[in-house]
Every structure is written in structure tokens, then in C-alpha cells.
């Protein structure tokens, strides 16, 4: 009776004591997306309704806990009171910015090293974007870079 080569190789490995190495139990825990977002961010690029906007005058972003803190230029530099919620299990990952007046801006995000990209809605009852782009109809695309200062 002829034995297939695969079974023969497996039998030889078992007989010679070759076994899989156990997975180490003390692997470092990977930080959650919320943990990775904590800190200060500087705006690197901005596009609204398909138009690129100069970012030089825009204030930085500070994220602490679930607080999104950024001065609001429309309110003469008064900080906006915004909380946020992320869902990294979705594809693409989702983010909701919840403003103090009840407005929710729905978006998607990605984190790549020290770069945080958000594409979100403007206005009420607007569908969440599915791609990292804007159009004439709306949307804001912001690229943030971690500020290590």
C-alpha cells in the first residue's frame, strides 16, 4: 500500500518531535483607535465640496477622552463643545462628531501612524460618506498630522 507524500512527511515530523511553538501570553496590548487619537493634531490638508482650502489659519485640534476640542472660527474663536464616537469595527471605520446643540456630523476615518484622516458630512440628515472624497454636493475631508510639540 502506497502512502501519499504529505501523510509521510507529517508522520516523520510527528515522530521526530517537531511541534508548534506556543503563543506567548504576555504580548503587548495594541492601543484602541480612541487611545491612538488622544493628543494634539495640526491640520495638514482640507477640502470642502471638492475645493482645496488653505489650512494656515485653522487652529489645531486637541483630543482628550471623548472630547474633540478646536476653536471655532465661525464663533470668533470660541471653542466648540464636541464629543466624538468611533466604531473601528466598520469598514470604513466610522466617526460621529456630536455638537453641543445636538447636530451630529457623520463621517469615516483612518489612522495611519501619525496621520488621522476624516471625511464627514456637513448639515443635518446627510448620509455618511463611504469614500475619502468630497463632491460639489458637500462633505469635508481633513487630514491631521500629530503635533509632537
66-94 residue pLDDT tens? 998 886 655 555 667 789 999 999 999 99
DSSP-based three-state secondary structure for 121: coil
Alpha-carbon distance of 88 to 66, in angstroms, equals: 15
114-135 residue pLDDT tens? 999 999 998 777 899 999 999 8
The residue ranges of every structural domain in the chain are 31-146
Quick one: how far is CA 143 from the chain centroid?
Answer: 11
Of the chain, the percentage scoring pLDDT greater than 90 comes to: 55
Alpha-carbon distance of 33 to 119, in angstroms, equals: 16
Mention the CATH class of domain 31-146. mainly beta
Alpha-carbon distance of 125 to 142, in angstroms, equals: 21
User: Phi and psi of 73, rounded to 5°?
Assistant: -65, -25
Q: How confident is the model at residue 13 (pLDDT cuts 50, 70, 90)?
A: very low
Quick one: how far is CA 21 from the chain centroid?
Answer: 34
Amino acid at each position: 500500500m502506497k502512502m501519499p507524500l504529505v501523510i509521510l512527511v507529517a508522520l516523520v515530523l510527528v515522530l521526530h518531535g517537531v511541534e508548534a511553538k506556543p503563543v506567548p501570553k504576555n504580548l503587548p496590548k495594541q492601543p484602541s483607535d480612541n487611545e491612538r487619537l488622544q493628543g494634539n493634531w495640526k491640520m495638514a490638508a482640507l477640502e470642502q465640496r471638492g475645493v482645496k482650502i488653505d489650512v494656515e489659519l485653522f487652529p489645531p485640534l486637541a483630543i482628550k477622552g471623548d472630547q474633540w476640542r478646536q476653536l471655532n472660527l465661525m464663533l470668533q474663536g470660541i471653542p466648540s463643545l464636541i464629543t466624538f464616537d468611533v466604531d473601528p469595527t466598520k469598514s470604513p471605520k466610522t466617526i460621529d462628531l456630536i455638537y453641543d446643540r445636538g447636530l451630529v456630523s457623520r463621517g469615516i476615518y483612518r489612522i495611519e501612524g501619525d496621520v488621522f484622516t476624516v471625511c464627514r458630512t456637513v448639515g443635518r440628515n446627510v448620509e455618511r460618506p463611504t469614500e475619502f472624497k468630497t463632491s460639489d454636493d458637500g462633505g469635508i475631508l481633513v487630514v491631521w498630522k500629530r503635533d509632537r510639540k
